[in-house]
Amino acid sequence: MSGHGFHVHGPHDHELEHAAQHGGDKFTARVAVLTAILSTIGAIFGYMGGHSQNAALLYKNEAAIQKTAASNHWNYYQAKSNKQNLAELSVTLTTGEAQEKYRQAVERYKQEKEEIKAEADKLEAEAKEADRKSEAEMHVHERWALATTLLQIAIALSAIALLTRKRWLLGAVSGAAGLGIVVGVLGYLHL
């Protein structure tokens, strides 16, 4: 602490000055750099995991919208079927011009139902495709999440190695980090 020309060193200041003047402890420096690199990679993997989860949710939302639209079309199809049934009944109960009018209505309803059915089938196919994309994105999200977790384990192990000064722990750090990076690459490749 400094004030009015009087300077007092903290308990760790001498060590910091010594490390700065003499290059410091190479083990500590290497583990610190390794931890910083792992933290950076972990942050990127965490971002990618969030992105893939958001994409999965968007696709799932799209699937729900398409399913609702398909359901509405099927309800419309059913309404047309009911009208067609009434028109068919009217054909049997009437004669002459009225009967011909109902025959034309039956044909019109059949045509309208085909168009409605085609649109409903298309919407159902779009919903299935959106569900498939959502599942694929969730799979990728799980890869990113696992990769991030493995890197967090590697970071924790590097802190333990640094505190205990056990060099053999760096093997466990390398193993967890390597596995995390491999899983991250699998996520990147959508495998």
Condensed to tens digits (0 to 9), the pLDDT of residues 8-41 reads 665 555 554 655 565 557 888 888 899 999 999 9
Is residue 120 within 8 Å of 73, Cβ to Cβ?
yes
Which residue, among 113, 120, 37, 111, has the nearest Cα to 73 in the 3D structure? 120
123-165 pLDDT per residue, tens: 999 999 999 999 999 999 999 999 999 999 999 999 998 888 8
* Token representation of residue 141: 């999200």
pLDDT at 117 over 90: yes
The letter for the amino acid at 137 is E
So what's the pLDDT on residue 144? 94
81 CB contacts (<8 Å, ≥6 apart)? 109, 113
> For residues 172 and 29, what is the distance between their CA atoms, to the nearest angstrom?
18
Domain ranges of the chain: 28-188
pLDDT band at 3 (very low <50, low <70, confident <90, very high): low
Q: Evaluate if pTM is beyond 0.75.
A: no
- C-alpha triplet 138, 144, 147: angle, nearest 5°: 145
- Provide the pLDDT for residue 191: 85
